[in-house]
Amino acid sequence: MLVDKNLNAAKKTKSMINKEGGESFVFKADIIREDDCRRIAEKCVEVYGRIDILVNNVGIGEGDRKLVDLSEEMWDKIFNINLKGMFFTCKYILPVMEKQESGSIINISSVAAVCAVRYVAYKISKSGVNSLTHQLAMKYAKNGIRVNAIMPGLMNTPIAIEGMARSTGRSKEDIIEMRNSMVPLKGGMGDAWDTAYAALFLASDEAKFITSVMFPVDGGQSSKIG
């Protein structure tokens, strides 16, 4: 079930799944609207009869500023999308998983939650994602529900590179070179597949004894000291 408020984006993912021989369907919803999140859970149960995996892969950072320059409007927007949306989806998916006595929830956080970064609202909202993950993991472990977070590091994705280019006025080439140099592991930045493979593992039975983990996928970035 591919959920997005932009159906064209969901359809692109569906076409990739089709090419691999998989099956999926798209569903339009805005995760900052509670009723939309209720409908997500209802539709998934209607189509599949159960909910085994929830991947909360939504977040923004563009528009964030240092504290004294950050507007209330932008603070609220970042927190609504990055944290409130995960609260809503979990609120309506967890009762289904409770009845099944099984399920895996994977929240996409960021190494910004544990590293020093320039901006405020993004970091604090992702720290909230980690806290939400820990809270739910401990609350629902007895129900056979695993809850983990992935903390991606510097990724070479269009949203990350183009967003920074717009906010700084630097060329995309300069930004890519700078971000590559910050990653300890040879090869520089990761990409979206690195996060996807981590999510696949955490969703699988191979991770059946793993819960409440904040899993860095960052080429060692979050381990740098000094």
Q: Three-class SS of residue 91?
A: helix
Q: In the numeric block, which tokens belong to residue 42?
A: 């209802």
* Nearest one of 147, 155, 149 to 218, comparing CA atoms: 155
Q: Three-class SS of residue 4?
A: strand
Sign, CA dihedral 97-149-110-27, equals negative
List CB contacts of 58: < 8 A, sequence separation 6 or more.
Answer: 31, 81, 82, 85, 86, 108
Task: Determine whether 122 is an active site residue.
Answer: yes
* Nearest one of 131, 145, 157, 149 to 214, comparing CA atoms: 149
Phi-psi region of 152 (alpha: psi -120 to 50; beta: other; left: phi over 0): beta
Q: Which of 92, 119, 122, 140 is catalytic?
A: 122
What is the Cα 219 distance to its own chain's centre? 18
Query: Active-site residues: which are they?
Result: 122
